[in-house]
Chain A
């Protein structure tokens, strides 16, 4: 494991009576983008905070950058970047000052920090707002600034906790593009998210978490192949015309019943749709799509990621 940036064995965290993380094994290699996918409360953020050395573990083994967070917290934190779930910029300082002041925490000289801030302002597309206060910036701009700030120390490992929660689609895509650029530059990233599209877009490899444990691990494509079929037929019915899932089950590989629709897992969605019609069922709408990580999660836990 010489090149492993993060190595966890049986990592465990308890807050009082609540077991947030119940023994997980994680290995993150240099250069990869690794994801924790799971619903709110699955233990992703707790795991992330332990890796970020701001939450002592209750049990298990953990190494980050080859060091022990319990002993070398500040030394590890000096070499990682953190994008928190909630923005914690200094809203009363300017955009540029937020970057420069933060750089100083890493023992960086003023001249270095000034140059770095200039570079990061361009990266975050905030050069024109450099001397404005942070307060009136849009949510997407604040997020970009937070990401820029997390890069001020040229981190070897970047931790992003729900990086795009609360952003509009356009801001999300811009952010994803920036993260993708970092990946191409070789920055190792760990991302927690409850958005399956985000995980699919960004992650080379991910673990699916539920109730504090890892329920599956692999690349997005592997997970879909292993836990879902190639295609999904989504059927919506009028309540009185809705057939029982068991009735449709023989037509496809698996049927999931959600409150508003039935999901039919099959290699060939079009054919399944034709067979459903031939069997005399009349859905209000039918949609064939590729399987996603959402389907993986549904198959693993029987629940959807975002309720």
Chain B
């Protein structure tokens, strides 16, 4: 019998192979996700940027809030961030539970030379990569709609991907603790993701909220991501603030990666 030529791939290569698996899946099944990743932000853009924006046009206080640009231009980078956060949450709930429980694909991966940590990071990497791609499409659409003010929108896209990474890492950690679908995910979407979407400065600045609510928005990764994306797209950098937002998001990524790798290991190799 011939000796096996198979080997355990190095850490990064293993992560890459997990990503390749998801990419193969995506090339076959991308149509089913296009609604949530591209169509939904487009609807938001149309409803708020164009429809709601027309209502605000020329109203007192609008220009003051947006710093002189149209509401659409002001909103567009925030929509990049919000759709990044939403698709990160979506991709890290049911698909993760399926990997553990329904299709059990994660179990197949770790039966081979892949480690649970590589599975977790492969998932995170894939979600971010996909977000980068759909975000780029979205940037193109925004540009066509007249919502792009400067080339800084490219940096805004990266800020959105960082937001995606933070939300993905945290939600994946949570999903790794979920044994049965039950209400775990619908509660997450109702009580965490939806309020986060509404109160992270996407549609209006958070300083318009009552004073006691504002500290809550500071813990929201989406608020930090939105501030970063907007600063980049509108070229309104405040260096110290940008540094703080970036550091906070990176910290969340680190916490999520630490939690997810530990919980994946506990669940896949008990």
Q: Taking CB as reference atom, which chain B residue is nearest A154?
A: B4
Which residues of A are in contact with B by a Cβ distance under 8 Å?
Answer: 15, 52, 54-56, 73-75, 77-79, 82, 84, 86-94, 97, 101-102, 104-108, 112, 149, 153-156, 185-187
Q: Mark B1-28, 1 if CB is under 8 A from A, else 0.
A: 1111111110001100100110011001
Q: Which residues of A contact B24 (CB under 8 A)?
A: 93, 97, 101
Q: Which residues of B contact A149 (CB under 8 A)?
A: 108
* Contact in complex: B113, A74 (CB < 8 Å): yes
Given A82-B111, A90-B21, A92-B29, check contact A108 B5 (CB 8 Å): yes
Q: Any chain A CB within 8 A of the CB of B107?
A: yes
Assembled-state Cα–Cα distance A87/B105 (Å):
9
How distant is A204 from chain B, measured CB to nearest CB, in Å?
16
Which listed residue, A79, A90, A107, touches B25 by the CB 8 Å rule? A90
Q: Which residues of B contact A86 (CB under 8 A)?
A: 104
* Contact in complex: B25, A75 (CB < 8 Å): no
Q: Which residues of A contact B8 (CB under 8 A)?
A: 74-75, 77-78, 106-107
* Contact in complex: A88, B269 (CB < 8 Å): no
* Contact in complex: B112, A92 (CB < 8 Å): no
Q: Which residues of B contact A54 (CB under 8 A)?
A: 107, 110-111, 268-269
Which listed residue, A55, A89, A91, touches B269 by the CB 8 Å rule? A55
Assembled-state Cα–Cα distance A200/B91 (Å):
46
* Contact in complex: B4, A155 (CB < 8 Å): yes
Give the size of the chain B interface in residues (CB under 8 angstroms): 33
What 10 A-B pairs come out closest when comparing CB atoms? A153-B6, A88-B104, A106-B6, A74-B8, A78-B113, A82-B111, A88-B108, A74-B113, A78-B8, A186-B1
How distant is B147 from chain A, measured CB to nearest CB, in Å?
35
* Contact in complex: B7, A106 (CB < 8 Å): yes
Given A52-B111, A78-B4, A104-B17, check contact A91 B103 (CB 8 Å): yes
Known contacts A78-B7, A105-B14; 16 further A-B pairs (Cβ under 8 A): A54-B111, A54-B268, A56-B269, A74-B8, A79-B4, A90-B105, A91-B103, A93-B24, A105-B114, A106-B7, A106-B113, A107-B7, A107-B8, A107-B9, A156-B3, A185-B1
Q: Mark B256-270, 1 if CB is under 8 A from A, else 0.
A: 000000000000111
How distant is A288 from chain B, measured CB to nearest CB, in Å?
43
* Contact in complex: B20, A104 (CB < 8 Å): yes
Classify the secondary structure of A's interface with B.
loop
How distant is B43 from chain A, measured CB to nearest CB, in Å?
26
Which listed residue, B104, B107, B270, touches A15 by the CB 8 Å rule? B270
How distant is B120 from chain A, measured CB to nearest CB, in Å?
15
How distant is B22 from chain A, measured CB to nearest CB, in Å?
10
Q: Which residues of B contact A108 (CB under 8 A)?
A: 5-6
Q: Taking CB as reference atom, which chain A residue is nearest B29?
A: A92
Q: Any chain A CB within 8 A of the CB of B109?
A: yes
Which listed residue, B3, B28, B270, touches A55 by the CB 8 Å rule? B270
Assembled-state Cα–Cα distance A57/B71 (Å):
60
How distant is B15 from chain A, measured CB to nearest CB, in Å?
11
Q: Any chain A CB within 8 A of the CB of B200?
A: no
Assembled-state Cα–Cα distance A153/B8 (Å):
11
Q: Any chain A CB within 8 A of the CB of B131?
A: no
Assembled-state Cα–Cα distance A186/B108 (Å):
24
Query: B residues 170-189 with Cβ under 8 Å of A?
Result: none
Assembled-state Cα–Cα distance A187/B1 (Å):
8
Assembled-state Cα–Cα distance A74/B270 (Å):
16
Given A101-B21, A185-B1, A187-B1, check contact A153 B103 (CB 8 Å): no
Q: Any chain A CB within 8 A of the CB of B115?
A: yes
Can you pick out 12 interface pairs between chain A and chain B where the beta carbons lie within 8 Å of each other? A56-B269, A77-B110, A82-B111, A84-B104, A86-B104, A90-B105, A91-B103, A93-B24, A93-B28, A97-B28, A101-B20, A154-B6
Assembled-state Cα–Cα distance A84/B111 (Å):
9
Assembled-state Cα–Cα distance A94/B105 (Å):
14
Q: Which residues of A contact B25 (CB under 8 A)?
A: 90, 92-93
* Contact in complex: A77, B28 (CB < 8 Å): no
Q: Taking CB as reference atom, which chain B residue is nearest A88?
A: B104
Given A15-B270, A73-B115, A187-B1, check contact A79 B110 (CB 8 Å): no
* Contact in complex: A105, B4 (CB < 8 Å): no
Assembled-state Cα–Cα distance A149/B112 (Å):
11
Q: Which residues of B contact A82 (CB under 8 A)?
A: 111-112
Assembled-state Cα–Cα distance A220/B268 (Å):
34
Which listed residue, B1, B9, B268, B269, touches A105 by the CB 8 Å rule? B9
Q: Which residues of A contact B6 (CB under 8 A)?
A: 78-79, 106-108, 153-155
Assembled-state Cα–Cα distance A66/B186 (Å):
48
Q: Taking CB as reference atom, which chain A residue is nearest B9?
A: A107
* Contact in complex: B115, A74 (CB < 8 Å): yes
* Contact in complex: A77, B269 (CB < 8 Å): no
* Contact in complex: A154, B112 (CB < 8 Å): no
* Contact in complex: A90, B3 (CB < 8 Å): no
Q: Which residues of B contact A79 (CB under 8 A)?
A: 4, 6
Q: Which residues of B contact A84 (CB under 8 A)?
A: 104, 107-108, 111
* Contact in complex: B17, A105 (CB < 8 Å): yes
